[in-house]
Amino acid sequence: MADRFLSFLKEVNFENYDRLLNEIRKYKNALNLIQDSDESLKSALVKVEEECEKKIQENNQNTRKRKSIDSTQGILKKRAKTENYVCLCGKSYRHRQSLHKHKKKCNLLHHENHNKSFQCRYCSVCFGEYSELVTHLEQQHPLPQTGTGNISSNHKNNSEFNQTEKSSKRQRKIIETSAIDNSVQNVKLLPNSDEKDDLLLFYAKTKIDVERILQQRRQIDRNIKFYLNTRVKMVRTLNTENEDESSTTPHFRCKMITLLENDEIEQNLNSAFQQMSNNMEEFINKGSDWQMEEVINMEVVSVPYVPINGSSYLPLPPDFQGLRSIVNVRNRDSKCFIWSILAALHPAPHHPERLGHYLDFENELDTKGMSFPVSITKIPKFEQNNGISLNVFGMEEGTIFPLYLSKLDHSHLEVDLLYLTQGDISHYCLIKDLNKFLSITKRAKIKHYFCRRCLHGFVRNDILQEHKPYCKLFDFQHVKYPKEGQNDVLEFKSFYKQLRVPFVIYADFETLVENLETDAEYRSSSHHESHFKPCGYAYKVVCSNENYSKPPVVFRGENAVENFLRNIINEETRIKEILSDSEPLKMTTETEKLYSDAIECHICKKPFSEKSVKVRDHFHIGVSGDINSPGYSNFRGAACQDCNLNFKEPKFIPVIFHNLRGFDGHLLCQAIGVYKDKEIKCIPQNMNKYVSTSLGDLRFIDSYQFMSSSLETLIENLAAEGLSNFVHFQKTFKDENIVNLLLRKNVYCYDYFDKFEKFNECELPPKEAFFNRLKKEHISEQDYAHVHEVWATLKMQTLGDLHDNYVLTDVLLLCDVFEKFRDMTMNFYGLDACHYYTAPGLAWDAALKMTNIRLDLLTDPLMYNFFEAGLRGGVSMISKKFSEANNPLVDNYDPDQPNTQIA
């Protein structure tokens, strides 16, 4: 009976072992529910079940083998179609470029001895141990100590190590520079010829050099911070048939690393090299078919690091002296860190601040490898030795913030410390109860539960526990949220930006293009061919009151940037004197009537009421015109008292360049550091480009961040509206024929001027001298004829006159273009662009002001972290599907295609 039943199941599920196995298991479960079931049938089902499982396993193995074979055959077929470039060793490649890179390191083509374990690349001496090689390099091949970038050849035994020219060529070229009184050190390592095509080989061979650089840096500054930055050239093929390629030179850098001991160097370097390799892999994966062409260089950038440490006793601030949640042990040594932790381990019932309670337990803690006073960077090592989690909080001007939060898991004790500072003295205290200690930041008398990461208080512990998973996703910091009902609404409040900035300076630099000679041995695809040396400038001071505007200033000569900064600082002093001397209010009959008829504030546009007193608002620097004439009035409008008090002329002075971020800003930063008595600030976009730089009250901004077109295009667009827009240009050039001649981006021979002596030449150079190497193009015949016409019309005597005229017209045209832009923003939005750094900032305030919108802000940290954790990035799109009907009832019916309809 059992055999017949099983035969029936096998026939129904022929070679479908998965289905047969399911049927057998179903019947087995049914038989288990029956008490008097047939045991022979059960055993037969078990036997067939085992056979099915075995067959299924065999089928799965066969399927995987078949897929592997098919995949391999597909790859081989694809390679057979694409691989056309074959090396002598038998390897073939799809692109000629890949074959070329392979040949450079092919073992068949280059019979080099790679069996040596540790070989010196300077003298070819081999060592069996890595440490022996490091010692040899330190003694026989020291690194250069100058910033010239040349390798020192003063070895201890020149006869042994400098016998041939070949051995000297193996030396790595190292360029060392420094800044800010040698506080920032930048050491650039260039690859040797055998390392340019292999990044991992370059890392392996430069590791010893980097170790020595960091060790020598630590001899000067005991504690340092450093990072590595690798620059490579990447290429990709755009068109396989034509072999068209595109290239880029990305930077791959590691995070900033703190180095306190030489023993940590090797581990930190391994981590740094891994980070840079991962960054490169991420770049390749996010790109499309990028391949590394060559290694350009690697930078080792280091700065001194002064870690925070606690030492002597300090009394608590007056606001904290009455708190029982803090224990401040009165120590006379530098072990306040140890005494505070012992105060947590062995709490004293009375007078816990007395040191005698903890002397018997001093040797209880493991302080191996630690020195006193203890810096915060040593806390992780202490935690690992003792299994205690430590959190350190700082305090500045009454504000409490986290300095260090433990990453130690599963510790048997968690201790909170308070770090106090007073001058050069610092001190650790024990926080017995963090919730009570932080309750001083809350005015409410109910108990709060505080998060150690963001220091936000919650009224219930369950809310805090719900908040922690989201808060752990972000770095620890003291987060201040808007208070509900007070500052939880975002609306336009920058009413002072409706006031036109009274003084603006427009400027531009010109440079010489000095050619640089590069060592052919170390020349790569991207190398410096020229150096831009400032040779002149022009600037124009514009004031809303024309009585204070000045004629343009032009300079040509050595130290142009330094001279410009001196003059511009003198202008700053003059402008401050004008702004400090406020002009008294002057009213006329007409302005008095305007004031009496006003029913709303001209600043905030709100109606006057008993709470908002109406006052007369006026221009403090006056307006254009004769102040002694009877019709003169500096009345601005009727305003409420609060708005009038805040509606003051700004103290900063915008200095505007076109393309400051890309070019002129680099010239300024090279000379601005000498003014150490003035506050220097910057808004960086990255390490090389700054959105804005400030020197005292001078704020350097980029007009290109508002009008992202070339100055030539902007001039053409403005000229199309008429000559009346060029107010300042026509004040300097009063002849209409000259205005029409110069009202364009003039022609200049940038690359021809490589030294100051050429400014003394008395005739124009040939047309070939106007070739632009940056754009790789010649000027047209019309442009060359134009520059000859300018030379003759303005009666120029030397090429210096051409330079002066070129930089002067650029500044005046930039002045008129941007002043027109300011007029537009004032007319349309009632905002002056000079209050902003970029167009997006201007657009945001304009949107708030014109829409009068009130946006609610998040006040709950749990909700804010929930949104932050839910942010997703990447490519997104909205696709719109297309369907076309094809039937006899529509136009363009195609009878050869199937009939379709759209419902």
Work out the average pLDDT over 162-188. Answer: 68
Written as six digits, the tokens of 139 are 């003694």
Confidence of residue 92 (pLDDT cuts 50, 70, 90): low
Average pLDDT estimate for 134-153: 48
Find residue 185's DSSP bridge partners: 178, 302
Query: Which amino acid is residue 164, in one-letter code?
Result: T
Report the pLDDT value the prediction gives residue 120, as an integer from 0 to 100.
64
Provide the b/e sequence for 541-568 (b: ≥16 CB within 10 Å): bbbbbeebbeebbbbbeeebbebbbeeb
* Residue 813 clears pLDDT 60, i.e. is over it: yes
* Per-residue confidence (pLDDT) for residue 783, from 0 to 100: 86
> pLDDT of 658-688, one tens digit each?
999 888 888 888 888 888 888 888 888 877 7
Bridge-partner residues for 510, per DSSP? 536
More confident residue, 133 or 187: 187
Q: What is the mean pLDDT of residues 398-424?
A: 78
CA 705/CA 821 separation, integer angstroms: 12
User: Which is nearest to 648 in space by CA: 594, 579, 697, 598?
Assistant: 579
C-alpha–C-alpha distance, residues 872 and 874, integer Å: 7
- Among 11-15, 370-374, 815-819, whose mean pLDDT is lowest? 11-15
Amino acid at 213: I
3-state class of 5 per DSSP? helix
Q: Give the bridge partners for 504, in sequence order.
A: 542
Residue 790: which residues within 8 A CB-CB, separation 6 or more? 741, 742, 746, 747, 796, 802, 805
Select the more confidently predicted residue: 334 or 40. Answer: 334
Q: Which amino acid is at 274?
A: Q
Condensed to tens digits (0 to 9), the pLDDT of residues 282-321 reads 887 766 667 788 889 999 999 887 665 555 677 877 777 7
Range of weakest confidence among 452-461, 484-493, 758-767 = 452-461
Q: Can you tell me the distance from the alpha carbon of 193 to that of 182, in angstroms, rounded to the nearest whole number?
A: 31
By the 8 A CB rule, do 542 and 549 touch?
yes
The answer for residues whose C-beta is within 8 angstroms of residue 21's C-beta and 6 or more apart is 49, 52, 53, 56
- Provide the 10 A C-beta neighbour count for residue 474: 13
667 against 882, higher pLDDT: 667
Least confident of 207-221, 603-617, 631-645, 866-880: 866-880
What is the distance, to the nearest Å, from the Cα of residue 852 to the centroid of all Cα atoms in its chain?
Answer: 33
Distances (CA, A) of 825 to 379, 723, 767, 835: 55, 20, 42, 11
**Residue 615 pLDDT more than 50?**
yes
Asked if pLDDT for residue 831 goes beyond 80, the answer is yes
Model pLDDT for residues 556-588, shown as the tens digit of each residue? 999 999 999 999 999 999 999 988 888 888 888
Q: What pLDDT is recorded for position 571? A: 93
CA gap 511, 535 in Å, rounded: 5
Mean pLDDT of the region 716-728 = 88
Query: Which has more confidence, 646 or 175?
Result: 175
The pLDDT tens digits of the residues spanning 633-643 come to: 888 888 888 88
Cis peptide before 373 (omega within 30 of 0): yes
Is the separation of the CB atoms in 450 and 402 below 8 Å?
Answer: no
What value does the mean pLDDT take over residues 618-645? 82
Would you say 621 and 545 are in contact if contact means Cβ atoms under 8 Å apart?
yes
Asked if residue 207 has pLDDT above 80, the reply is yes
What integer pLDDT is reported at residue 153 of this predicted model? 36
Provide the sign of the torsion angle of the four alpha carbons 276, 281, 283, 289, taken in this order: positive
From 437-451, 538-552, 876-890, the region with the lowest mean pLDDT: 437-451
Residues 15-30 have a mean pLDDT of: 67
Query: pLDDT value at position 65?
Result: 56
Q: Can you give the pLDDT at residue 77?
A: 47
Among residues 550, 577, 525, 629, which one has the least CA distance to residue 232?
Answer: 525
Q: What is the mean pLDDT of residues 739-755?
A: 81
pLDDT at 142 over 70: no
- What secondary structure does DSSP assign to 232-261, as a single string? EEEEEEEETTTTEEEEE--EEE---EEE--
Measured between alpha carbons, how far is residue 742 from residues 371, 405, 508, 747 in Å? 72, 65, 17, 10
pLDDT tops 90 at residue 246: no
Res 265 pLDDT > 70: yes
pLDDT at 478 over 90: no
Residue 167: its H or E element: helix 165-169
pLDDT value, residue 840:
92
Q: At 232, phi and psi to the nearest 5?
A: -130, 165
Question: Is residue 825 very low, low, confident or very high in pLDDT (cuts 50, 70, 90)?
Answer: very high
Q: What is the pLDDT of residue 392?
A: 87
- pLDDT at position 552 over 90: yes
| Long-range CB contact pairs, 867-870, < 8 A, 24+ | 868/470, 868/473, 868/474, 869/470, 869/473
- Percent of the chain at pLDDT above 90? 14
Residue 816: burial class (beta carbons within 10 Å; 0-12, 13-18, 19+): buried
DSSP state of 40: H
315-338 pLDDT, tens digit per residue, is: 877 777 777 788 888 888 888 888
The pLDDT of residue 621:
81
CB of 492 within 8 A of CB of 848? yes
Average pLDDT across the chain, whole number: 78
The DSSP 8-state label assigned to residue 661 in this structure reads I
Would you state the pLDDT for residue 8? 56
CA distance 818 to 826: 12
Residue with tokens 């005597």: 797
Residue 78's pLDDT band (cuts 50, 70, 90)? very low
What is the model's pLDDT at position 300?
Answer: 92
